[in-house]
Amino acid sequence: MSTEPLTFDSAVAYRLHERVALRPEPFGALAYHYGNRRLNFLRAPELVSLVESLEAYDSVRAAFDDANIDPHRWPSFEKALASLAASGFLVADDTES
């Protein structure tokens, strides 16, 4: 069960859409969404790890706590996640919350 909220909420759980594939690249990863046929660059290796880890956590915030990312960079990562959610690459995952 998932929904695509209009706003990104780091207090809830998210996961990669099941029709999104990631290709590792030196800058991070190239992401492709087979459902809406959009491409996206994940421009930091840490962002790729974070995105892949999301489904293991009850909230985005909890994922940040365990990720090896300098807290000063959290706002830019959260912005990236919000952008991924807005384009359908991430979906809110309410199966565990």
Partner 1 sequence: MTLIDEPRPDNLVLSPVKTSGLGDQMKAGLDAPICLTWELTYACNLQCVHCLSSSGRRDPRELTTGECEAVIDELQRMQVFYVNIGGGEPTIRKDFWHLVGYAVDHGVGVKFSTNGSGIDAGVAERLAQSDYVDVQISIDGADAQTNDHVRGEGSFATAVRAMEHLHAAGFEGFKISVVMTRHNIPQVDEFKAMADHYGAQLRLTRFRPSGRGTESWDELHPTDQQQRDLYHWLIDHPDVLTGDSFFHLSALGEALPGLNLCGAGRVVCLIDPLGDVYACPFVLHDEFLAGNVRDEGGFEKVWQQSDLFIGLREPQSAGACASCGHFDACQGGCMAAKFFTGIPLDGPDPECVLGHGETAMDSVARASAGKDHSRTAVAIGRKPGI
Binding residues (CB under 8 A) for partner 1: these are 19, 21, 23, 25-28, 30, 32, 34-44, 47, 76-77, 79-80, 83-84, 87
CB of 96 to partner 1, least distance (A): 25
Token representation of residue 5: 């909220």
Q: Pick the closer one to partner 1 by CB: 45 or 55.
A: 45
Residues in Cβ contact with 90 at an 8 Å cutoff, skipping those fewer than 6 apart = 14, 15, 16, 17, 51, 54, 81, 84
Q: Pick the closer one to partner 1 by CB: 54 or 80.
A: 80
> How many residues are there in the chain?
97
CB of 7 to partner 1, least distance (A): 16
Count H helices and E strands in the chain, helices first: 3, 6
Q: Pick the closer one to partner 1 by CB: 27 or 97.
A: 27
